[in-house]
Amino acid sequence: MRGAPEERIEQFMRTPIRRVVLDGIFWQMPQHFDHKRAAGLSATIRWCITGRVDGGADVYDLRIEDSHCSVMQRGTGDARVTITVDAIEFLKLATGNSDPMQAYFSRRITLTGDIMLAAKLLALFRIPARRASGTP
């Protein structure tokens, strides 16, 4: 991801492999979930990943309940917060190559609903740290 031209990533994410990549990231999220920090939290976080060829978005719901996290594709029902982000920015976030707060303030991410819950997500998941250039 790091160092790849954005145009190339965009082309890649406009192929059928997009679904495999997004599914892979979302199905891994429960494994990177910090159960202790989520104690007492009950919420659904909806992710809308835009940029599909047909103009639509891929939708995933993260359900946090009793310190457990599960993922549902094309979630239904109410979400406490909805995070809308383009696929390229999402990949950068998921790989630690973008700062979520910076992305929000530069409007690369939009939030509706409980913005404080969205901010808390940073503490609930172990996101890969961005490495300095030259570091393997």
Range of the domain at 70: 6-124
Give me 29's structure tokens.
Answer: 């999220």
Residue 78 lies in a domain: yes
Q: Residues 74-90: what's their mean pLDDT?
A: 89
At 2 the pLDDT is 67
Q: What is the DSSP letter of 106?
A: T
Residue 136 lies in a domain: no
Q: Is the pLDDT of residue 133 over 60?
A: no
Query: Tell me: the pLDDT tens digits for 92-105?
Result: 888 888 888 899 99
Q: Is the pLDDT of residue 131 over 50?
A: no
Query: Tell me: the pLDDT tens digits for 16-75?
Result: 899 999 999 999 998 888 888 888 889 999 999 999 999 999 999 999 998 889 998 876
At 134 the pLDDT is 46
Sign of CA dihedral 64, 22, 72, 81: positive
At 128 the pLDDT is 59
At 43 the pLDDT is 92
Residue 134 lies in a domain: no
Q: Which helix (H) or strand (E) holds 103?
A: helix 100-105
Higher pLDDT, residue 135 or 40: 40
Give me 60's structure tokens.
Answer: 């995933």
Q: Is the pLDDT of residue 113 over 80?
A: yes
- Name the domain count of the chain: 1
What CATH number did the domain enclosing 17 receive? Answer: 3.30.1050.10
Residue 133 lies in a domain: no
Residue 65 lies in a domain: yes
Q: How far, in Å, CA of 93 to CA of 89, rounded?
A: 6
Residue 22 lies in a domain: yes
